[in-house]
Amino acid sequence: MDRFSYTRRFLHALLLLGTVNAGCATASLADGEKAQTPPSDPTPLEAQLDTSTALQPQTDQAAPGQSSESLVNAPAPTQPQTDDTVPTQSEADEAAPARPQDEIPAAGQPETSESPPAQSPDNSPTVQPPTDSPPTALQETDQETDRPALSEANPSIMLTGRVWRAKPGIVFLKTPVGLLSLSSKTTLKALPASQEVSFWIHEDHVVVDVVKRTDGALVHRYLTGPFKRDSADDTQLIRWTPDGEKAFHMGAHERALASRKNGESVTVEVDGRDSVIGVHDLQFDLQIGQVATNGSKAHVLLTGTISKLKSNFIFFRTPIGIVNVNAKIGIKNAKVGQILTLHMHDHHVVADLSASADSALIRRFVTGPLEFAAPDRASVRLWTPEGEQTYPADLGRSSLNGAREGTPITLELDGQGDVVEFHRMK
């Protein structure tokens, strides 16, 4: 009995032990299957962090103080870029210097196989200027380069001058070709050195623009010419400007201009709204004493009769008055009574002499920088109103001996255009 009971208990224990082991095995298999089953959340925390890191450049582009170009050109960071590493504007400027996109080296541009970061709509002009904008150094504006070229009207002048001396009612300006003075009893009360003057003559019209040297802002504009009303509106005055003929409202000054006759010369001051804001007297005096230096902008075309010679100075009477010319600019053996036509184009000068207005040319003097037309130096090339011309240098070997290209010279031609002599300017 005891042995049977013991055996029964032993079998019962074995059965119980087997049942427990089977349950543990079932539980282990279920856990294993669960470990191999994809998680219910398709984006675990690590994946979410990777996604936010990949999108970080777009977030950083929207951050203030960083331009789109700095993100395109800057090298890729080794660590994910966060808001704590967003560079300041000055750092962005250093990373991406201000220059057009077509000058950026290829190494700094993103690979075409990668999708570039989205461009921010707020592109800073300091960092990424438009490619079609010219450099600031070339805007001088040239202000003059945007204007239409003056036709070959005679007389015609286009000069820019800076204040040399000034007092109320009179100002002396240094121009590339000499001294220009402006005087008036009713205006020009003050003209500081921070301003410069652009001076135009076109036949019987004169334009004087006073602008700030820093930004080219217009301070005064004076227009002189024959009085002429607009045929469509007699309250408007027609005036020639470097941009063509324009109509200006006389406004409150219509009464002051009512007594003017058609064709009578009158000077008015106008504003940027094409309105007359003053009626003045304005005189000028031009002394041509030098050839403009290389790179200077100057235009002069005048014809007149030589009325006086004194030392090295030639006084000739022109439609704009008596102009004083220094003969050292390349005019030789001029005589009183001769007709002088003076044509200055930047740093070139051509002077024509004839006995009278209806007679043939006696002499032509062509002045400009020496330029040989061929390596053997057998000919020279000089500018003329008819275009660049080439002349044999045989008669100038002694004068040109040792002269370097760029040295100012004067070529003397006879009435038929043949070379008479070469002169070195002193």
In SS3 terms, 342-382 reads as EEEECCEEEEEEECCCCCCEEEEEEEEECCECCCCCCEEEE
Q: What is the pLDDT along the chain (426 residues), one digit of tens a residue?
A: 556 666 777 776 666 666 545 554 444 444 444 444 444 444 443 444 343 333 333 444 443 344 333 333 333 333 434 344 333 433 333 333 333 434 333 333 434 434 444 444 444 333 333 333 333 333 333 444 444 444 579 999 999 999 999 999 999 999 999 999 999 999 998 889 999 999 999 999 999 999 999 999 999 999 999 999 999 999 999 999 999 999 999 999 999 999 999 999 999 999 999 999 999 999 999 999 999 999 999 999 999 999 999 999 999 999 999 999 999 999 999 999 999 999 999 999 999 999 998 999 999 999 999 999 999 999 999 999 999 999 999 988 888 888 899 999 999 999 999 999 999 987
Cα angle for residues 63, 66, 70 (degrees, 5° grid): 135
Q: Which residues, listed in sequence order, are joined to residue 199 by a DSSP beta bridge?
A: 159, 208
Q: Residue 2: what pLDDT?
A: 59
Token pair belonging to 146 = 């945007």
Whether the Cβ atoms of residue 276 and residue 248 lie closer than 8 Å to each other? yes
pLDDT digits 0-9 by tens, 50-93: 433 333 334 444 433 443 333 333 333 334 343 443 334 333 33
Task: Check residue 328 and report its DSSP letter.
Answer: G
Cα separation, 293 vs 270, in Å, equals: 33
Residue with tokens 């800057």: 74
Token pair belonging to 317 = 């009477």
Token pair belonging to 133 = 């904008």
Cα angle for residues 23, 24, 25 (degrees, 5° grid): 90
Cα separation, 227 vs 100, in Å, equals: 49
Whether the Cβ atoms of residue 201 and residue 181 lie closer than 8 Å to each other? no
Q: Residue 396: what pLDDT?
A: 85
How many H-runs (helices) and E-runs (strands) does the chain carry? Answer: 7, 21
Q: Which long-range contacts (CB under 8 A, 24 or more apart) does 51-59 make?
A: 53/80, 56/80, 56/81, 56/82, 57/81, 57/117, 58/117, 58/118, 59/83
Whether the Cβ atoms of residue 262 and residue 228 lie closer than 8 Å to each other? yes
Composition of the chain by helix, strand, coil, percent to 5: 20, 35, 45
Cα separation, 363 vs 359, in Å, equals: 12
388 phi and psi angles, rounded to 5 deg: -70, 135
Between the alpha carbon of residue 128 and those of residues 71, 92, 102, 117, 334, the distances in Å are 12, 11, 11, 16, 59
Whether the Cβ atoms of residue 65 and residue 90 lie closer than 8 Å to each other? no
Task: Check residue 21 and report its DSSP letter.
Answer: H
Between the alpha carbon of residue 340 and those of residues 105, 127, 159, 317, 327, the distances in Å are 57, 55, 20, 9, 12
Give residue 349's identity as a one-letter amino acid code.
V
Between the alpha carbon of residue 11 and those of residues 8, 16, 22, the distances in Å are 5, 9, 17
Token pair belonging to 181 = 């003075």
pTM exceeds 0.75 for this model: no
Token pair belonging to 102 = 């077509």
Q: Residue 177: what pLDDT?
A: 97
Token pair belonging to 365 = 């003097």
Task: Check residue 159 and report its DSSP letter.
Answer: E
pLDDT digits 0-9 by tens, 273-324: 999 999 999 999 999 999 999 999 999 999 999 999 999 999 999 999 999 9
Token pair belonging to 74 = 């800057």
